[in-house]
Structure 1
Amino acid sequence: MDKLSALNMFVATAEYGSFSRAAEQIGKTPSALTKAVGHLESELGVRLFERTTRRMALTEAGHIYLEGARQALMQLQLAGEEVDQLQDELRGTLRLTAPPSFGPAFLSEVCCRFMSEHPQVRLDVDLNDAFVDLIDGGYDLALRDGPTDLPGLIARPLTKNRIYLCASPAYLERKRLPVSLDTYQQHDWLIFQHPLLNRHYWWLWRGEERIRVSQPTPRMTSDNYDFLLACLLGGHGLQVVPQWSAAPYLASGQLVRVMSDYELEPDAFGPWVHVLYLAHRRRTRKVRVFIEMVEACLRERGIA
């Protein structure tokens, strides 16, 4: 049996925890995966999985072999990509992950532009708020506003994570109440709920002064940022909005900053939006080109 195929099938089986689930994901039959793992076990003279009628789990030898198999497959992939870079045209697949809110804010534009300029590259874009492991998930890069002190990753700043208080002109016209530290509790608030965010108070900066204020009672809460943004644009309240999201609406007049001499502290999301990638991916041309395109898009929007 082809050793490379056997290694791929072994890794898939380990990651999905069963022959049937792994077979479904990689387009093989369960019997083919069973045969591949059996071939490797015969060659090594050890069992890689403990199997029962209810479950299967890696043995100690299986855990050791899985790490080596992943590294071997990764090195082969990198070697192939470096050979591809000798060609003029970018090829292959680029896998990335980012928060859902980055999609409509700027990432969809970047991806469409990238596909137009590099038609031989397939993009696999996973939008979710989870801080996924780039190695386990097989990602080339991640865009994140949040923790960057993750082992084995390079964090490259893209733009400052400035946080504004915003409203639509229609809401301000309807409410007819100034927004200040004395009145902000009397306004309708659209509040984004996220596990990393404090639900009890905010920190505001005014120059060098740091002010703690109680979080107002919300008119609406949601764990979906873009849902709330649509309601904000529709004139239904005030919202805390990152500059990278608000910029086009502020420029068009669809949103205005309120309490514009204050900025909200970004809490656990941190002061920067970063692109994260594995150290051994820094020389990969398609990764480098995609990052450069993100940076160019943010510069064009005036938020780099």
Structure 2
Amino acid sequence: METLANLESFAKSAELRSFSEAARRLGLTPAAVSRNVATLERNLGVRLLQRSTRRITLTEAGERFLDSIGGSLDTLQSAIEETASGAAEPAGVLRVSLSPTLGQAYILPLLPDFLRRYPRVRPEWHFESRQVDLVHEGYDLAIGGGFELSPGIVARGLAPAHIVAVASPAYLQGVADIPGHPEALGQLRGIAMRSTATGRIRKWTMLGPEGEQAAVALNEDIVMNDPASVREATRLGLGVALLALPDVLTDLAEGRLVRLVPDWHADAGMISLYYASRRLLPGKTRVFVDFLIERFRRLGYAESFDATARRELRVRGSMRKQKR
């Protein structure tokens, strides 16, 4: 009967392609991890990993073995964690990656209530504008939009990720004709955003009230790679930008920004929770997922983040009054 330590050392080393990185995640020394894997191979009578000076790779037998134990090992690890911490009291470090703007404005304010309910959970949150590798980087979950789902990762939708065109009232005071169609946004000074993932300028196609489409030729007068910085530049009156509606809701409500072509929006998919697929999630992860889904529902964030809501159309009329 193989020990859990041997199986964990093999599975983590296979996932991370490194004894050193596996050791760091498991709280062991690289020598201990290597020894555990060697013991497993000796007991099975087959080589599971090929070692080299640079990295390790799975043999054909190793791939079959990893596939066969993957789900069972996850379930066993989760069961041990649940039992050790007490099923009624989840515990442990909750490592989360989340968008800075969305996270600080909407997720962080929910943390005090969550910690009152689950005081033994210790949040370790990373606010970053990138797609992380949940498994290889050791995250329990990520919150954001536009993630490409790799094998073994699931997504739970929270709210739509709609992109809208915005500018400051001060900037629009100097504009002779407020654009009524996305294609006319090219007549204004643009604040474009460069993707940190691809290095390319983000391009959007906007959707109209009847489902019609229009490409947005936003000028690249100013280019930044961070949504919060683009929003700040827009507040300063430097031009028009395309930003996620959750990032500018407060600015729209308080008049710092105005939504242009309010009948139109771009669809960036969903704001979602991403986590590794397991039949039994660790208690700390499961309760946080359930808590966040319930809070988004109770606070009506899905409706608030929907760019097609009728309340947003009032912006156009208010701007016309300002222009007069």
- State the TM bucket, normalised to the shorter chain: 0.7 to 0.9
Query: 2: CA distance between counterparts of 1:55 and 1:275?
Result: 31
Where does residue 321 of structure 2 map in the other structure? none
Q: What amino acid does structure 2 have at the position aligned with 1:179?
A: I
Taking the TM superposition and a 5 Å limit, the aligned residue runs for 1:117-266 are 117-126=117-126, 127-130=128-131, 132=133, 140-146=140-146, 155-173=155-173, 175-180=174-179, 181=181, 184-194=185-195, 202-208=204-210, 210-260=212-262, 262-266=263-267
Where does residue 14 of structure 1 map in the other structure? 14
Query: 2: CA distance between counterparts of 1:35 and 1:149?
Result: 34
Where does residue 115 of structure 2 map in the other structure? 115
Where does residue 322 of structure 2 map in the other structure? none
How high is the TM-score relative to the length of structure 1?
0.79
Q: What amino acid does structure 1 have at the position aligned with 2:271?
A: V
Where does residue 319 of structure 2 map in the other structure? none
Q: What amino acid does structure 2 have at the position aligned with 1:287?
A: V
Alpha carbons of structure 1 residues 214 and 92: separation in structure 2 relative to 1, 3 Å:
closer
Aligned-pair distance for 1:215?
1.0
Alpha carbons of structure 1 residues 50 and 85: separation in structure 2 relative to 1, 3 Å:
same
User: What is the CA RMSD across the aligned residues, in angstroms?
Assistant: 3.6
Equivalent residues of 2:75, 2:280 under 8 A apart:
no
Query: 1: CA distance between counterparts of 2:97 and 2:274?
Result: 10
Query: 1: CA distance between counterparts of 2:225 and 2:231?
Result: 12
Question: In the TM superposition, what whole-angstrom CA distance separates every residue of 1:61-113 from its partner, at most 9, and x where no partner exists?
Answer: 222222344323311233246545742x3323434444444223422323454
Matched, 1:35 2:35: yes
Alpha carbons of structure 1 residues 197 and 112: separation in structure 2 relative to 1, 3 Å:
farther
- Unaligned ranges ≥5, structure 2: 307-324
Alpha carbons of structure 1 residues 116 and 253: separation in structure 2 relative to 1, 3 Å:
farther
Query: 2: CA distance between counterparts of 1:285 and 1:149?
Result: 22
Q: What amino acid does structure 2 have at the position aligned with 1:178?
A: D
Equivalent residues of 1:142, 1:276 under 8 A apart:
yes
How high is the TM-score relative to the length of structure 2?
0.75
Where does residue 292 of structure 1 map in the other structure? 294
Where does residue 274 of structure 1 map in the other structure? 272
Alpha carbons of structure 1 residues 224 and 71: separation in structure 2 relative to 1, 3 Å:
same
Question: In the TM superposition, what whole-angstrom CA distance separates every residue of 1:208-264 from its partner, at most 9, and x where no partner exists?
Answer: 16242441221112332222112122222111122222111112222121232x222
Query: 2: CA distance between counterparts of 1:150 and 1:16?
Result: 15
User: 3-state DSSP class of the match of 2:212?
Assistant: strand
Equivalent residues of 2:93, 2:123 under 8 A apart:
yes
Aligned-pair distance for 1:141?
4.2
Aligned length: 297
Question: In the TM superposition, what whole-angstrom CA distance separates every residue of 1:260-303 from its partner, at most 9, and x where no partner exists?
Answer: 2x22222xx22x33334537358944431233234445549944
% identical aligned pairs: 29
Where does residue 48 of structure 2 map in the other structure? 48
Aligned-pair distance for 1:36?
1.0
Q: What amino acid does structure 1 have at the position aligned with 2:37?
A: V
Where does residue 104 of structure 1 map in the other structure? 104
